[in-house]
Amino acid sequence: MQGLGIGVGTERKTPKPRNTSSISFDGSNDYLSIPAHAYSGGSGVSDFSFSIWVQFPSGGATPFRRESMFDIYTDANNYWKFTYTASNVETFAVVIGGTPIVNYLANSAIDASLADTWIHYVISHDRSSGTIIYRNGEALTAGTNTIADTTTDIDLSSVLRIGVYGTAYSAFICNEFASYTQVLSAADAKVLYNQSVPHFTGGNNIKGLFLMGDGTEAVSGTTIYDMVGSVGNATLTNGAAYSTTVR
């Protein structure tokens, strides 16, 4: 079977071992730090996508409330973030120089029944038309989806951090994370959601793949290996730890 031509195939040309662990964040001050990289391409104004598996623990009626999944954060005026709002709604935003450049907000709250389950997200951004967020292979309907301009360089010389936005840390479990310098389609999102083992890591447009174990890290230490080798290895910071909870 042929892949989709983007390094996301149903048949992996380079086999990778099944994930044997995940990464657990306690919501205090720990996170996973991925080296600074031109996630949106060399010009800083091109397309990009992210893929991530997460599981949030149940806890009252609002397990997702204000939880932050990841950021690229320089300061309060220069950041990327993927979080849930106070109303349990997924949002992706980019602010540069204090000006909102990208603003995506889903039109309804995530169902609290999805707590304690594995959720897969694809955040796919086209600088000419906007963002699409796919949850478990299905596109969310946007309540807000704006791009202030299509020319501002949105690459920040900052690490990508999973488990935090600014100083707002989150308690959840994270599995396979990948970044791409291209738009991922609805078909791509379904492929990534339906695969039961780590996906094919080839192709020109996948820039980083972090399995969270066991790639070569052997579920120990503080290093998470980039299986593509373009972005560089990630680091477990301030006590972020391996978890035996796997999908």
H helices of 62-208, where? 186-194
> Which tokens in the block code for residue 227?
């299986």
Scan for tokens 């038309």, then name that residue.
129
Reported as a single tens digit per residue, the pLDDT across 121-141 is 999 999 889 999 999 999 999
5 pLDDT higher than 50: no
Tell me what percent of the chain is helix, strand and coil, each rounded to the nearest 5: 5, 40, 55
236 pLDDT higher than 50: yes
For the chain, the structural domain boundaries read: 38-241
Reported as a single tens digit per residue, the pLDDT across 216-235 is 777 788 999 998 888 999 99
User: What share of the chain has pLDDT > 90, as a percent?
Assistant: 63
Q: Which residues contact 143 (CB under 8 A, 6 or more apart)?
A: 89, 105, 106, 107, 108
This prediction has a pTM of 0.91
Q: What is the model's pLDDT at position 219? A: 76
User: What is the third-level CATH fold of 38-241?
Assistant: Jelly Rolls (2.60.120)
CA distance 89 to 212: 26
| Polymer length of the chain | 247
Looking at every residue in the chain, the average pLDDT score rounds to 87
12 pLDDT higher than 60: no
Reported as a single tens digit per residue, the pLDDT across 74-88 is 999 999 999 999 999
Q: What is the model's pLDDT at position 199? A: 57
Tell me which range, 6-20, 158-172, 190-204, 225-239, is most confidently predicted by mean pLDDT. 158-172
pLDDT band at residue 9, thresholds of 50, 70 and 90? very low
Q: What is the model's pLDDT at position 245? A: 85
First to last CA, the chain: 24
Closest CA to 53 of 188, 178, 186, 214: 178
> Which tokens in the block code for residue 176?
């396979």
